[in-house]
Amino acid sequence: MATPRIPPGINPRDKRSGDRRALPRPGRPGGAVWYVLGFLMLMALAQTWLLAPTGRQISYSEFKAAVRAGRVAEVTISEQTIRGTYKAEVNGTRNFNAARIEDPKLLEELDATGVRYTGEFVSRWLPEVIGWVIPILLLLALWSFFFRRMGSAEGGVMSFARSKHRVFAEDDVKVSFADVAGVDEAEQELKEIVEFLKNPKKYTALGGRIPKGVLLVGPPGTGKTLLARAVAGEAKVPFFSLSGSEFVEMFVGVGAARVRDLFSQAEQKAPCIIFIDELDALGRARVQSPMGSHEEREQTLNQLLAEMDGFDSRKAIIIMAATNRPEVLDPALLRPGRFDRHVLVDKPDVKGREEVLQIHTRQVKLAPEVDLKIVAARTAGFAGADLANLVNEAALLAARNDKASVEMADFDEAIDRLIAGLEKKRVMSRKEREIVAYHESGHAIVATLIPGMDPVHKISIVQRGFGALGYTMQLPLEDRYLMQRRDLLNQLAVLLGGRTAEEIALGEISTGAQNDLQRATDIARSMVTEWGMSDALGAINYDGHKRSKFLDLAFGPERGAYAEETARLIDAEVKRIMTEAHAQARGILTEHRDDLERVTRRLLEKEVMEGEELRTMLGIAPAADPSADKTPLPPGLQ
């Protein structure tokens, strides 16, 4: 339905304004309005011209004198003017006019001198109408302009929103997995999606449900966007991409309209991929703030959720999104049926960095002495984008020095420059890397050498975007519902193993163990106060029902309902348990001091180490293969 922009009855043209196809340029605001305005202007001009007094302008006294002298032939008297003609030409014209003055005697005199006179009734409707209508029309034009800008979803207004869409479906994405390196695990997981997009019928024929939403999580510049495009390229499906920030516009409703439009366009092109970059810009947790919420973003987010729930999962549309801040996302986005599949895209290790460098030096003329292995070794902490940048920088440096090819010296200089720039992003120093390597080796060795522990799956000193400097990941062989006291004590030894290794190897401890200590202390305290695992205190639960966090906040930390004496005893028991665990870790690591050294060196060199290699180095029988290969997001020890 078209919006009535012109009050009816002014002008026959207004009928056309109801017909959108008649508009000269539908994208422009109020085309018909301008027509009407122009027409009215013409009318006004015409009237002025038609009604304009003709002949010579004379004064009223002059007019009266002429009447008395008998020189006037006839006059037309209107409300405000008197027009007339002389009997003979005066100053080259017979016509005259004069402003009318209140003069009751005039008619008598005209009768007396025999002048023919007529009255005139002038309709003044046109100027009046114009005086009213032009401002109204201007207001209407402005109103319709802004209304369109706001892109309300109804009818004609929608076309404006649509025309502004920057939904680009790339039909032929040229990126493939060969252009991405160093993120093998992510690649592996995404291969499944590619398979599905290539052949959706095969999967849905058996009634299977395909994941709808895949969330790529990782630090900036690790290739999330690149991977998403590679999936489209490999599967040869159209790629719709939009950035989360593009959804959030000034006007309420535009974002939601875009989401709707995006999905309806995608539905027509299925199988395809919808990619939402920087999901966090759009998908931040909705908050109830007293200052009022960000209404536009919420509407958009709600629309996205509705669309994700609404479309048929057999339609073969995969929604991918990327974020480097998963922690701020609205939990609703992560629920089953939405972005429930998470793929970790991490910074590359040495080997990965070498591969990334290889990809980006494909088009670069390298001097034969350039060894990308060495470049990779010197760029710990660089993400894929940093490496791409590095290659470019080195090439520019070489060109500036008029070299025929890019030499190792150029790479060195470029690395120095980039590291200076990255300093702000906290790339670990050599010393820090060593500390982290000892620390993680400590965890891993203790975990491996205590019998019955979950096998170590992976050790890494690749810095992550989420605060951890390194991690040791253990994978349980089976689900556990109960922990025995021995298991817990062993767990404590593993947690303290990192800090203990630093002590032993460097004679110094760092702040890196803070999280370990906190977790260990929590476990020890729970052993004493909740699980009755301390002989000194007996099988009593001292904590009662734990209060909710909210109440804790309101009333301050709770001191259990026990005597001061008991509190002291609890603290002493916690301390004893911790000390024993520390001693256990210390014993293991001192006995295996040389192993600690070897594992640390190897880790510094490789940055990431598989559990198998670790067990081989320690001369331990290989663990039963942990079948659970779906690694959850960073569960590892810090």
Q: Is 525 in the site for ligand ADP (CB under 6 A)?
A: no
Residues in 177-236 at the binding interface with Mg ion, rule: CB under 5 A: 225
Count, residues near ligand ADP per rule CB under 6 A = 18
Q: Is 385 in the site for ligand ADP (CB under 6 A)?
A: yes
Which one of Zn ion, ligand ADP, Mg ion, none interacts with residue 611, CB within 5 to 8 A by kind? none
| End-to-end Cα spacing for the chain | 62
Which of 343/523 has CB closer to Mg ion? 343
Which of 223/455 has CB closer to Mg ion? 223
- Which of 354, 440, 502, 573 is catalytic? The answer is 440
Report, in Å, the least distance between residue 626 CB and Zn ion. 21
Q: Is 516 in the site for Zn ion (CB under 5 A)?
A: yes
Give the residue, chosen from 58, 137, 356, 614, that forms a contact with ligand ADP under the rule CB under 6 A. 356
14 SS3 class? helix
CA distance 296 to 255: 7
Angle made by CA atoms 254, 258, 264, in degrees to the nearest 5: 145
CA distance 286 to 263: 22
- Residue closest to 158 by CA, chosen among 142, 169, 143, 147: 147
Give the residue, chosen from 322, 375, 419, 444, that forms a contact with ligand ADP under the rule CB under 6 A. 322
Which of 324/600 has CB closer to Mg ion? 324
295 is catalytic: no
Residues in 128-187 at the binding interface with ligand ADP, rule: CB under 6 A: 180-183
Please give the order of strands across the beta sheet that includes 456-460: 471-474, 456-460, 608-610
Which one of Mg ion, Zn ion, ligand ADP, none interacts with residue 144, CB within 5 to 8 A by kind? none
Which of 406/520 has CB closer to ligand ADP? 406
Residue 534: burial class (beta carbons within 10 Å; 0-12, 13-18, 19+): buried
Report, in Å, the least distance between residue 616 CB and Mg ion. 38
Comparing every residue's Cβ against Zn ion, the nearest one is 498
Q: Is 324 in the site for Mg ion (CB under 5 A)?
A: no
Report, in Å, the least distance between residue 582 CB and Zn ion. 14
Report, in Å, the least distance between residue 170 CB and ligand ADP. 14
Which one of ligand ADP, Mg ion, Zn ion, none interacts with residue 226, CB within 5 to 8 A by kind? ligand ADP
Which of 220/634 has CB closer to ligand ADP? 220
Count, residues near Mg ion per rule CB under 5 A = 1
Report, in Å, the least distance between residue 632 CB and Zn ion. 18
Q: In 28-154, which ranges are continuous DSSP H helix?
A: 31-51, 60-68, 106-113, 125-150
DSSP designation for 83: E
CA distance 293 to 7: 39
Which one of Zn ion, Mg ion, ligand ADP, none interacts with residue 183, CB within 5 to 8 A by kind? ligand ADP
Count, residues near Zn ion per rule CB under 5 A = 3
Which of 81/243 has CB closer to ligand ADP? 243
CA distance 33 to 23: 10
Number of H helices, E strands in the chain: 23, 14
Which of 296/346 has CB closer to ligand ADP? 346
Given a contact cutoff of 8 angstroms between Cβ atoms, the answer to whether 11 and 36 are in contact is: yes
Q: In 167-316, which ranges are continuous DSSP H helix?
A: 184-198, 200-204, 224-235, 244-247, 254-269, 279-283, 295-310
Given a contact cutoff of 8 angstroms between Cβ atoms, the answer to whether 120 and 76 are in contact is: yes
Report, in Å, the least distance between residue 388 CB and ligand ADP. 4
Given a contact cutoff of 8 angstroms between Cβ atoms, the answer to whether 32 and 23 are in contact is: yes
Which one of Mg ion, Zn ion, ligand ADP, none interacts with residue 356, CB within 5 to 8 A by kind? ligand ADP
Copy the structure tokens of residue 547.
């209060």
- Residue closest to 459 by CA, chosen among 478, 438, 429, 487: 438
Torsion of CA 249, 251, 254, 255, to 10 degrees: 40
Report, in Å, the least distance between residue 305 CB and ligand ADP. 23
Which of 277/516 has CB closer to ligand ADP? 277
Which of 232/501 has CB closer to Zn ion? 501
H/E segment holding residue 343:
strand 341-344
Q: Is 359 in the site for ligand ADP (CB under 6 A)?
A: yes
Residue 595's contacts (CB-CB under 8 Å, 6 or more residues apart) are 445, 617, 618
Report, in Å, the least distance between residue 386 CB and ligand ADP. 8
Place of tokens 């689900």: 479
DSSP-assigned letters across all residues of 572-591: HHHHHHHHHHHHHHHHHHHH
DSSP designation for 154: S
Which one of ligand ADP, Mg ion, Zn ion, none interacts with residue 106, CB within 5 to 8 A by kind? none
CA distance 584 to 114: 137
Residues in 177-216 at the binding interface with ligand ADP, rule: CB under 6 A: 180-183
Which one of Zn ion, Mg ion, ligand ADP, none interacts with residue 255, CB within 5 to 8 A by kind? none
Copy the structure tokens of residue 530.
């909740």
The piece of 285-293, 373-381, 383-391, 530-538 that touches ligand ADP (CB under 6 A) is 383-391
CA distance 637 to 453: 14
Residue 378's contacts (CB-CB under 8 Å, 6 or more residues apart) are 412, 415
Give the residue, chosen from 213, 255, 326, 384, that forms a contact with ligand ADP under the rule CB under 6 A. 384
Which of 224/525 has CB closer to Mg ion? 224
H/E segment holding residue 565:
helix 564-591
- E strand residue ranges, 408-493: 456-460, 471-474
Give the residue, chosen from 221, 498, 611, 636, that forms a contact with Zn ion under the rule CB under 5 A. 498
The piece of 319-327, 445-453, 485-493, 498-506 that touches Zn ion (CB under 5 A) is 498-506
Angle made by CA atoms 88, 122, 119, in degrees to the nearest 5: 50
For ligand ADP, what does the binding mask look like between residues 218 and 257, x meaning CB under 6 A?
Answer: x-xxxxxxx-------------------------------
Report, in Å, the least distance between residue 183 CB and ligand ADP. 5
Amino acid (1-letter code) at residue 356: V
CA distance 210 to 83: 90
User: Strand 608-610 and strand 456-460: pairing?
Assistant: antiparallel
Report, in Å, the least distance between residue 379 CB and ligand ADP. 13
Which of 40/216 has CB closer to Mg ion? 216
Report, in Å, the least distance between residue 382 CB and Mg ion. 16
Residues in 475-504 at the binding interface with ligand ADP, rule: CB under 6 A: none
Sites of contact with ligand ADP (CB under 6 A): 180-183, 218, 220-226, 322, 356, 359, 384-385, 388
Sites of contact with Mg ion (CB under 5 A): 225
Catalytic residues: 440
Sites of contact with Zn ion (CB under 5 A): 498, 516, 638
